[in-house]
Amino acid sequence: MILQQLKAYLEEHGTTDRVTLSNHFGLSEDGVDAMLQVWIKKGKVSRMFDTIRGKEKGVRYTINQGISLNVQM
């Protein structure tokens, strides 16, 4: 299942940007977001937004290790 493959990829490669994931799995960036939202809701994956002067420049995903808390500011 693609959800398991996405999680396994993050576990193996660590923090990975959305573009790399979409290219590797042949998905759109929106598709990657939608699929990883399942793991984010379960607390297994975190989404990080890269910004420059308040403008979004990229999105990265990482596996949560141990006890962690997702916070968006």
pLDDT tens profile 51-71: 888 787 899 999 998 776 666
Work out the average pLDDT over 46-55: 87
Decide if 24 contacts 9 (C-beta within 8 A).
yes
Q: Note whether residue 73 is domain-resident.
A: no
Work out the average pLDDT over 2-30: 96
CA atoms 2, 21, 39, 8: torsion sign: positive
Q: What is the pLDDT of residue 73?
A: 60
- pLDDT at 46 exceeding the cut of 70: yes
Q: What is the pLDDT of residue 57?
A: 85
- What is the token pair recorded at 26? 């042949």
Q: Note whether residue 70 is domain-resident.
A: no
Residue at 65: amino acid letter: Q
Say how many residues make up the chain: 73
Please name the residue ranges forming H helices in the chain.
Answer: 2-13, 18-25, 29-41
Residue 13 maps to which CATH number? 1.10.10.10
Question: pTM of the entire structure?
Answer: 0.83
